[in-house]
Amino acid sequence: MAGAGKAVIRCWDVFCRVVDNYGDAAVCWRLAQQLASARGGAVRIWIDNLEVLHALFPEVAPGKSRQRVAGVEVCAWTQDADFEAPADVVVDGFGGGLPERYLEAMAGRSPRPLWITLEYLSAESWVAGHHGLPSRHPRLALERYFFFPGFFPGTGGLLREADLEARRDEFQRQADLRARFWRNLGFAPPLPEAIAASVFCYSGAAVAETLDAWASGVKALVAAVPRGPARAPVEAFFGVVDPGDGKVLRRGSLEVRLLPFLPQRRYDELLWACDWNFVRGEDSFVRAQWAARPLVWHIYPQQARTHWVKLDAFLDVYCAGLESEPAAALRAFWHAWNGSGGNGTVHAANGVAGPAWHALWPHSLRLRKHAETWAARLAAAGELAENLARFCDERL
Ligand code: TRH
């Protein structure tokens, strides 16, 4: 609770501008739910694309301007939206910006709301020094704070539901829960001796070469591919055209299962059910770390290849404490998957990913133990919504 005499946070407004893909909505929605469940205040999410939120959380109706879902007031952020009075704390998701008239109302409110910009996740070393810094608005009597998620204490931490580890551990312990998950999708559970991998990426990942390595591998590999950019290279590899969700494609040691785009809760279960998770962007990248399984990250490509700095910054912290051989194999495959021939060049199909996978998968057991240790260590950075609420309690 806030100190005696300090303002108590009664309501939050989270603004989410969907730039592209799912991650902006995914993270802002998770934050809104966490604030509502962890702090009990009134939480509104203002989002400019309800369709994307509906894909992640089907209980959200895409056509409603206002609705209450999972303890959160879901509000369509339209040009003529009635924002009413500004909240005690206003979160600008990923610096997407706030409506001008809402900003004016904030400046006219007493006491002033607290204005937070939720930044993108990065493992780069400069993040901790920038976390929590204020910046004055050039014209209005307003100040905003930059809130950086992160992997270590001294940053904002990562979003994590209170029961996440317990649900994950139960699911990973109980074969019948995993079997039920696969059967609900129309598939038998993969055989125990097979490697199960989930594949979610952007176009441009080294999918074809990796499929080829899986098909020629010594171990059976079941690849679960939700609808998305990975589908095109998968269909090209098998010489088929959109066989549809629920279908199975086989070649050599490889079995590919075509999945629909799953609601976030089911996607979490997919991550928990697999031995390897190929993820992308920010939210699936974090969820795969909470899944405590080896992961491969397709980073959101940026101009001037600045994303490579971010990719290597994460590999540096993730591989700390890992023996040199598995660490080198992981780095080499992550680079190949992200389209680098290892010397920073972008490779098309120059046969890097295949050999890199054959060098990596024998370390699966060691990398699983490492992923379990990493997930436990992440919790030490604290939970993002709790850290944010405490940050605001101290400043309101
Ligand atoms: O969709 P993304 O590429 O979003 C990206 C990133 O957030 C990136 O940081 C941002 O700059 C860019 O958008 C604009 O990847 P991300 O972050 O993993 O979000 C995907 C969400 O979709 C995540 O919550 C997992 C979820 N998901 C499902 O719910 N079901 C599925 O079947 C799949 C494959 C994903």
Measured in Å, residue 323 CA sits from the centre of ligand 1 at 31
- Ligand 1 nearest-atom number relative to CA 263: 29
Same domain membership, residue 172 and residue 87: no
Same domain membership, residue 188 and residue 94: no
- Between 33-47, 79-93, 217-231, the lowest mean confidence (pLDDT) is in 33-47
pLDDT over 60 (residue 348): no
Using CA atoms, how far residue 203 sits from 144, 234, 279, 351, in Å, is: 36, 11, 12, 18
Q: Hey, which of 16, 18, 22, 287 would you mutate to test ligand 1's pocket, going by the most ligand atoms within 8 Å of its Cβ?
A: 22
Same domain membership, residue 72 and residue 31: yes
Print the domain residue range for 307. Answer: 164-193+202-214+263-380
Same domain membership, residue 122 and residue 46: yes
Same domain membership, residue 172 and residue 105: no
Of all residues in the chain, the percent with pLDDT exceeding 90 is 88
Same domain membership, residue 324 and residue 188: yes
Measured in Å, residue 214 CA sits from the centre of ligand 1 at 25
Same domain membership, residue 330 and residue 210: yes
The mean per-residue pLDDT over the stretch 129-156 comes to: 95
pTM as predicted: 0.95
The mean per-residue pLDDT over the stretch 68-72 comes to: 97
Measured in Å, residue 340 CA sits from the centre of ligand 1 at 22
Tell me the backbone φ, ψ of residue 209, rounded to 5 degrees: -65, -35
The mean per-residue pLDDT over the stretch 285-310 comes to: 93
Measured in Å, residue 297 CA sits from the centre of ligand 1 at 12
Same domain membership, residue 188 and residue 278: yes
> What is the spatial distance between Cα 64 and Cα 60, in angstroms, rounded to a whole number?
8
**Can 255 be counted among the known catalytic residues?**
no
Q: Is 226 near ligand 1, meaning CB less than 6 Å away? A: yes
Q: Is 288 near ligand 1, meaning CB less than 6 Å away? A: no
Given a contact cutoff of 8 angstroms between Cβ atoms, the answer to whether 200 and 278 are in contact is: yes
Given a contact cutoff of 8 angstroms between Cβ atoms, the answer to whether 91 and 13 are in contact is: yes
Q: Kind and range of the H or E element at 388?
A: helix 384-393
Measured in Å, residue 377 CA sits from the centre of ligand 1 at 23
Measured in Å, residue 393 CA sits from the centre of ligand 1 at 30
Q: Is 121 near ligand 1, meaning CB less than 6 Å away? A: no
Of all residues in the chain, the percent with pLDDT exceeding 70 is 95
Q: Pick the catalytic residue from 282, 283, 383, 393.
A: 282
Q: Is 280 near ligand 1, meaning CB less than 6 Å away? A: yes
Residue 286 forms part of a structural domain = yes
Question: Which residues have a Cβ under 8 Å from the Cβ of 242 and sit 6 or more positions away?
Answer: 231, 235
Q: Is 269 near ligand 1, meaning CB less than 6 Å away? A: no
Same domain membership, residue 110 and residue 43: yes
pLDDT over 90 (residue 9): no
Q: Hey, which of 57, 282, 286, 289 would you mutate to test ligand 1's pocket, going by the most ligand atoms within 8 Å of its Cβ?
A: 282
| Tens digit of each residue's pLDDT (9 = 90 or more) over 97-117 | 999 999 999 999 999 999 999
Measured in Å, residue 285 CA sits from the centre of ligand 1 at 8
CA dihedral of 385, 316, 307, 237, whole degrees rounded to 10: -100
Residue 39 forms part of a structural domain = yes
pLDDT over 60 (residue 2): no
Question: Which residues have a Cβ under 8 Å from the Cβ of 375 and sit 6 or more positions away?
Answer: 165, 289, 290, 291, 292
Same domain membership, residue 54 and residue 179: no
Q: Is 93 near ligand 1, meaning CB less than 6 Å away? A: no
Same domain membership, residue 117 and residue 22: yes
Band (pLDDT 50/70/90 cuts) for residue 3 is very low
Residue 304 forms part of a structural domain = yes
**Can 24 be counted among the known catalytic residues?**
yes
Residue 232 forms part of a structural domain = no
Mean pLDDT estimate for the chain: 94
Same domain membership, residue 312 and residue 172: yes
Residue 154 forms part of a structural domain = no
- Ligand 1 nearest-atom number relative to CA 202: 3
- Ligand 1 nearest-atom number relative to CA 22: 1
Tell me the backbone φ, ψ of residue 251, rounded to 5 degrees: -155, 125
Residue 273 forms part of a structural domain = yes
CATH number, domain at 62?
Answer: 3.40.50
Measured in Å, residue 20 CA sits from the centre of ligand 1 at 9
- Ligand 1 nearest-atom number relative to CA 284: 18
Residue 153 forms part of a structural domain = no
Residue 373 forms part of a structural domain = yes
CA-proximal residue: ligand 1, atom 1 (nearest): 22
CA-proximal residue: ligand 1, atom 4 (nearest): 23
Q: Is 281 near ligand 1, meaning CB less than 6 Å away? A: yes
pLDDT over 60 (residue 5): no
pLDDT of residue 303: 80
pLDDT over 90 (residue 58): yes
pLDDT over 50 (residue 1): no
pLDDT over 80 (residue 39): no
Tell me how many domains the chain contains. Answer: 2
Q: Is 228 near ligand 1, meaning CB less than 6 Å away? A: yes
Given a contact cutoff of 8 angstroms between Cβ atoms, the answer to whether 276 and 295 are in contact is: yes
| Tens digit of each residue's pLDDT (9 = 90 or more) over 299-320 | 998 887 789 999 999 999 999 9
pLDDT of residue 306: 83
